[in-house]
Amino acid sequence: MTRSALFVLVVPWVIAACGPTPAGLDAGTPSDGGGAFDAAGGGPDSGLDGPDAAWPDAALLDAASPDAAWPDAAWPDPVDAGPPSGFDAGLVPYVEPATPASGLTDVSADLDAVLENGSLDGACAAWAQDPDDQAKKLRCGKWMFFFEGFGTLGVPAPLFEFMSAEFEDEIGLGQTGLGLIRNPYSDMPLPLGVGEGAPTGNVASYAYTCAACHFGQLPDGRYAVGAPNHDYDYGGQQLALFVVPGVIQPGFDPADHDPAALARVQPMIDKLENTPGLKWQLLFDLLPLVFQSGQAPPVTPALEAAYASWPRGTLDFVMAPLPLDDELHTVSKIIPLWDIPTDDERAAFGMPHALLAWTGGAESLEEFLTGFVDIGGGDTTEWTPERLSPLRDYIMTLRSPPPAVAADETLRARGENTFVGAGCVDCHDGPRGESTQIYEYSDIGTDGAMAYWGQGTILLDAEAEAALPWGVKAPRLFGLHGHRRFLHNGSLDSLAQLLCLSPRGSWPEPNAATGHEYGCDLPVADRQALLVFLNAL
């Protein structure tokens, strides 16, 4: 398989999963990433000022009650539930995944417990000494999930450490204001989700790990491995890392930068300008990079505008600073890594393969992990499937946590009957509510920018062209109560918006909050019951 064919199978999951970002956005096409969001608002608690300040303020419905405290403008007038709307369709065919006996804590309100109380260091060495011990293998996989960078391209360590330590009021110590979780076992204020990357000459780097995008806090406060980190301000992080350091360069001119992007990092720039000695400290920290070969990736105003336009929990992976640039601006929300179906489950439900990623183009977890290493610049001859197998096995044990509060059973049952009777299950027909096939973009009607993915200059050969699924799948539904972004591009804040119980915003591609209006014509009481059912999965 050629590298570009591997790209089309793997990158759609990486886009939705996580990672750094291409430089040559083609203005005037769906790759045009103008600053479409209001840059006002935010503050120290929310990280960089930015697009989230302009998004509708809607919370997830408490699965225990349809009368949860929605904003007055968002929640419809109370409706007498009355009898169901003629649906008596029975139960959904979903399969509750078996709980693995891993001996690991992957969901807890106690961060130390989830991190195995700091005992994961050395886990892979222990497994290497006893390769037949599955428990040791899974502990190694969990360490890899949080700390393995696979030798992929990373951010120079002096820059990453400076940004993590010097801007407590602007982005939080350890970049916690950007939605990352601080590593309690690090001697310096670093976030979880970074590991050792490929060095730049003699300068160490931090590369992203699985945990950057797939570890976070649920709305109820519990930490969960495999959860989509919809608090992660990836675009804001890239602006902090690649725009702010430019202030120390002679001739820095704000007019050379996108206004919305500059506004998001202005508090950091002000601190550099107004804190005695801080610019000199940054310059001193970055001096080792001056003597290394290569250049920092170019960050154009169009690229800055794209970064500035992303709400938390969304990104475009195939952009600078990664070496791959598809020259298209396609935004995806971060997806969960829990409840991936087993081979037996896929066969029982008639799935052609794993259908991973939004496009369904990644056929297996093994294929994705190898592709992630390759696309990130790692050495796949070193990172063989066998060496990656602890991480693969560990991810397959991840389960969506149950809701913290049990649902009202009458409403949940009504919602389930509505889900089946209204035909939702016809598309969400897989083991955990994912689809068993790929649908054309026109069938779903969501933001059309992703339909252009694959038409950029990066895909040049026939094998790669043939490998593109040219569509989207329906996602897994288990654990929706832990999500804060909906639709493939994350343009909706809640299931209430998805079911037209709360108003949707209006933004241009690739952030359009359009499509998937199935169920919006159902009676309000049925849609309220649907929310309870979906949040109970």
Model-level pTM?
0.84
Tell me if residue 38 falls in helix, strand or coil: coil
Tell me if residue 59 falls in helix, strand or coil: coil
Whether 459 shows a pLDDT value over 70: the answer reads: no
CA-CA distance, 113 to 184, in Å (whole number)?
12
Contact call for residues 190 and 182 (beta carbons, < 8 A): yes
pLDDT value at position 159? 95
Tokens representing residue 265 in the block = 């990092």
DSSP code for 341:
P
Closest CA to 323 of 21, 15, 33: 21
CA atoms within a 13 Å half-sphere pointing along the CA-CB vector of 417: 16
CA-CA distance, 25 to 12, in Å (whole number)?
18
Tokens representing residue 454 in the block = 């694959």
Q: What angle do CA 279, 284, 285 make, to 5 degrees?
A: 100
Task: Provide the pLDDT confidence category of residue 449 given band limits of 50, 70 and 90.
Answer: confident
Task: Provide the pLDDT confidence category of residue 162 given band limits of 50, 70 and 90.
Answer: very high
Task: Provide the pLDDT confidence category of residue 100 given band limits of 50, 70 and 90.
Answer: confident
pLDDT tens-place string over residues 11-46:
444 434 444 333 333 333 333 333 333 333 333 334
CA-CA distance, 532 to 405, in Å (whole number)?
11
Tokens representing residue 39 in the block = 């840059």
Report in angstroms the alpha-carbon separations of 227 from 367, 393, 483. 21, 17, 8
pLDDT tens-place string over residues 165-216:
999 999 999 999 999 999 999 999 999 999 999 998 889 999 999 999 999 9
CA-CA distance, 165 to 281, in Å (whole number)?
12
* Burial call 327-359: b when 16+ CB within 10 Å, e when fewer: bbbbbbbbbbbbbbbeeeebeebebeebbbbbb
Taking the alpha carbons at both ends of the chain, their separation in whole angstroms is 38
